[in-house]
Amino acid sequence: MANHNIEIDILRNDERWPEHFADDVDAIVATVLNTLELEAEGPAELSLLLTNDEEQQKLNTDWRAKEQSTNVLSFPQIEPDEAIEGMLGDISFAFETVQKEAEAEHKQFHHHFAHLLVHGFLHILGYDHLTDREAEEMEAAERKILARLDIADPYADIVEQ
């Protein structure tokens, strides 16, 4: 099955989000699972919220005590290394922030969104970037997945300090 038995519910709360993104989400989620050699162990559900900076800021304030918008937020409902089944979690995206970042980084909007979806879904699956080691593992997974999606390495232009 293309999406590994994961039902993906998409709520478009801002009309600026292209409707066709829904068609790509299944393929992106499937690529994440295929690349990581993971499989849903039973019926599973993932929710995506395509929203705007105002709503994203409220979510970020309510859940992370950060009074600003952000590109993507993930709300996992499974524990790391837990079976991939049931309600996996929610991922929300802020249109204006995603658009500004894509423009500033000279990336196609769709490619930047795909990267953020991969990033957000990796958080759902238990990946994080709180330590240098975790960040390296997560970035390596992102690079590998994005390469399979024919999307340029988003970290290639970042200069190591």
CA neighbor of 73 nearest in space, from 52, 101, 93: 93
Domain ranges of the chain: 6-148
CA neighbor of 85 nearest in space, from 40, 124, 120: 40
DSSP 119-138: HHHHHHTT---SSHHHHHHH
Per-residue pLDDT tens for 99-151? 999 999 999 999 999 999 999 999 999 999 999 999 999 999 999 999 999 99
Kindly state the tokens that stand for 42: 């039973």
Return d(Cα 2, Cα 132) in angstroms, integer.
Answer: 33
The answer to the question of whether 119 is labelled as a binding residue is: yes
CATH architecture of 6-148: 3-Layer(aba) Sandwich (3.40)
Kindly state the tokens that stand for 65: 């005590």
pTM, two decimals, is 0.93
What CA–CA distances, in Å, run from 102 to 106, 154, 155?
6, 11, 13
Kindly state the tokens that stand for 133: 């080691």
In what order do the strands lie in the sheet containing 44-51?
Answer: 6-12, 44-51, 86-94, 72-76
What are the two backbone dihedrals, phi and then psi, of residue 103, each rounded to the nearest 5 degrees? -65, -45
Say if CB 97 and CB 67 are below 8 A apart.
no
Per-residue pLDDT tens for 42-88? 999 999 999 999 999 999 999 999 999 999 999 999 998 899 999 99
Q: What is the 3-state secondary structure (H, E, C) of 53-97?
A: HHHHHHHHHHHHCCCCCCCEEEEECCCCCCCCCEEEEEEEEEHHH
At 21, is the pLDDT very low, low, confident or very high (cuts 50, 70, 90)?
Answer: confident
At 156, is the pLDDT very low, low, confident or very high (cuts 50, 70, 90)?
Answer: confident
The answer to the question of whether 123 is labelled as a binding residue is: yes
40 three-state secondary structure: coil
Distance from chain centroid for Cα 70: 12
The answer to the question of whether 106 is labelled as a binding residue is: no
